[in-house]
Amino acid sequence: MNSDSRIYVAGHRGLVGSAIVRRLQADGAANLILRTHHELDLVDQAAVEAFFAIEQPEYVFLAAAKVGGIHANSTYPAEFIHDNLAIQTNVIHSAWKHGTKKLLFLGSSCIYPRDCPQPIKEEYLLTGPLEQTNEWYAVAKIAGLKMCQAYHRQYGFDAIVAMPTNLYGPGDNYHPDNSHVVPALIRRIHDAKITATPRVTIWGSGTPLREFLHVEDLADAALFLMQYYNDEHPVNVGSGQEVSIAELAGAIADAVNYEGELVFDTSRPDGTPRKRLNIDRLDSLGWRARIALKPGLEQTINAFALTTS
Ligand SMILES: NC(=O)C1=CN([C@@H]2O[C@H](COP(=O)(O)OP(=O)(O)OC[C@H]3O[C@@H](n4cnc5c(N)ncnc54)[C@H](OP(=O)(O)O)[C@@H]3O)[C@@H](O)[C@H]2O)C=CC1
Ligand SMILES: C[C@H]1O[C@H](OP(=O)(O)OP(=O)(O)OC[C@H]2O[C@@H](n3cnc4c(=O)[nH]c(N)nc43)[C@H](O)[C@@H]2O)[C@@H](O)[C@@H](O)C1=O
């Protein structure tokens, strides 16, 4: 892949897609192919087929998906399974059919079994029951991973799979209910600070552990894998930085200088108790995350504050 390569970033306005575009542009990519959801609905098979027949991208970063946090996943199961199966099936098939050289598919740490040994190795996939709050999304993602492996085996299609841990960073989804925990708490605690609200509610018990990776590290890993990795086995992409939700909430409150009370609403689900990734495979390839959680949160909060000021 070089600066003249025809590179399609599906989902380029999202958290991951926008970070990949920023990184490619910083590296001098001069031939990016981008379409908004409105311009190209990836659920529409005929539209996707026509797009690939005309544009014939050489490289595809598949960062388009129906994505949301624990509440969204358990509230809209039909949309999560339908849209993600359709998007990935359409893009992977048409990319192969129209000669794409390489495609990167994004799985997720949340598709591993709920209670597998920690840290989670790639080979633990499909060895146990899924976390119920996002099983529909997980089944769709597992199907996408298997489709990449099948096209690799039968057609020799260079489709690779990255398995990111929980991501955060600029350009995230800050919807009050459907977002992930980091943007949700940044927005809620930031707003509480501005309105001098005395307490902020955190969903669940605060005890679950989560590993967080800054999205610019993920973008770096995505380009690294696109350049150097072409095996059918998925590759975990993590930071090794694990905190409890209570510690995360405290870190965001400190960064925002919020001095009110953090209260835990145990009527809300905790989800998976823990899901830290084993990153030996990626480490052995020579890649490591660089952005530590504290400065990463501060950078993300500053970017959020700028967009709301
Ligand atoms: N965020 C995280 O913590 C993690 C994310 N991932 C994976 O990374 C990938 C990207 O996630 P993330 O960036 O967080 O998600 P976002 O929701 O931020 O971005 C998803 C993008 O896909 C687009 N999109 C959704 N549906 C369609 C459609 N039918 N047609 C065209 N475009 C569509 C959205 O456009 P629009 O908003 O306009 O609908 C949006 O730009 C996903 O595959 C996700 O599973 C993996 C692990 C963790
Ligand atoms: C990223 C990956 O993993 C996702 O699963 P998840 O990690 O459980 O997602 P989450 O970020 O929404 O929650 C993390 C924890 O945080 C707690 N929590 C507290 N307060 C809020 C809060 O206000 N919002 C949210 N969303 N969670 C909160 C929440 O109760 C839970 O214990 C999948 O949905 C799927 O999207 C996927 O790919």
Q: Which amino acid is at 170?
A: P
Q: Is 191 in the pocket of ligand 1 (CB under 6 A)?
A: no
To which H or E segment does residue 200 belong? strand 199-203
Under the banding of pLDDT at 50, 70 and 90, the label for residue 307 is confident
Residue 309 has pLDDT above 80, yes or no: no
CA of 62 to the centre of ligand 1 (A): 9
Please give the structure tokens belonging to residue 68. 């949301």
Nearest atom, ligand 2, residue 137 CA: 35
CA of 206 to the centre of ligand 2 (A): 11
CA of 67 to the centre of ligand 2 (A): 11
Q: How far apart are CA 41 and CA 53, in angstroms?
A: 16
Tell me the ligand closest to 48's alpha carbon. 1
Query: What CATH number is given for 6-172+212-240+276-291 in this structure?
Result: 3.40.50.720
Tell me the ipTM for this assembly.
0.98
pLDDT at 308: 79
Average pLDDT taken over every residue of the chain? 97
- 106 to each of 62, 152, 208, 266, 299, how far by Cα in Å? 7, 16, 24, 31, 24
pLDDT at 254: 96
What is the per-residue burial (b if ≥16 Cβ within 10 Å, else e) of 180-205? bbbbbbbbbbbebbeeeeeebebbbb
* Alpha helices (runs of H) in the chain, residue ranges in sequence order: 15-26, 45-55, 70-75, 77-97, 135-155, 181-195, 215-228, 245-256, 280-285, 293-308
Residue 218 has pLDDT above 80, yes or no: yes
CA of 172 to the centre of ligand 1 (A): 10
On whether 62 is known to bind a ligand per the annotation, the reply is no
Per the CB < 8 A criterion, the answer to whether 232 and 274 are in contact is no
The residue with tokens 């899901």 is: 275
On whether 218 is known to bind a ligand per the annotation, the reply is no
Under the banding of pLDDT at 50, 70 and 90, the label for residue 50 is very high
CA of 53 to the centre of ligand 2 (A): 38
Mean pLDDT of 165-193: 96
In the set 137, 151, 168, 174, the catalytic residue is: 137
Per the CB < 8 A criterion, the answer to whether 216 and 15 are in contact is no
On whether 190 is known to bind a ligand per the annotation, the reply is no
Q: How far apart are CA 255 and CA 258, in angstroms?
A: 8
On whether 188 is known to bind a ligand per the annotation, the reply is yes
On whether 144 is known to bind a ligand per the annotation, the reply is no
Q: Where are the domains of the chain?
A: 6-172+212-240+276-291
Up-side HSE of residue 7: CA atoms within 13 Å toward CB?
Answer: 25
Sheet containing strand 32-33, edge to edge, reads 32-33, 7-10, 59-62, 102-106, 158-164, 235-237
Residue-wise pLDDT for 135-154, tens only, equals 999 999 999 999 999 999 99
Tell me the ligand closest to 263's alpha carbon. 2
Query: Which residues have a Cβ under 8 Å from the Cβ of 307 and sit 6 or more positions away?
Result: none
Q: How far apart are CA 3 and CA 7, in angstroms?
A: 9
Residue 295's CB is within 10 A of a number of other CB atoms, namely 11
Q: Which of 58, 40, 45 is nearest to 96 (CA)?
A: 58
Who lines ligand 2 at CB under 6 A?
A: 67-71, 73, 108, 110, 134, 166, 179-181, 184-185, 202-204, 208, 210, 245, 268-272
Q: How far apart are CA 198 and CA 258, in angstroms?
A: 9
On whether 213 is known to bind a ligand per the annotation, the reply is no
pLDDT at 82: 98
Nearest atom, ligand 2, residue 141 CA: 38
To which H or E segment does residue 212 belong? strand 209-214
CA of 121 to the centre of ligand 1 (A): 24
Q: Is 66 in the pocket of ligand 1 (CB under 6 A)?
A: yes
Is position 258 annotated as part of the catalytic site? Answer: no
The residue with tokens 């800054």 is: 214
Q: How far apart are CA 235 and CA 68, in angstroms?
A: 22
Residue 159's CB is within 10 A of a number of other CB atoms, namely 25
Fill in the DSSP letter of residue 123: G
Substitution site in 67, 212, 272 for ligand 1 pocket (most atoms within 8 Å of beta carbon): 67
Nearest CA to ligand 1 atom 48: 166
Query: Which residues have a Cβ under 8 Å from the Cβ of 295 and sit 6 or more positions away?
Result: none
Q: How far apart are CA 168 and CA 296, in angstroms?
A: 8
Percent of the chain with pLDDT over 90: 98
Whether a cis peptide bond, with omega within 30° of 0, leads into 119 is yes
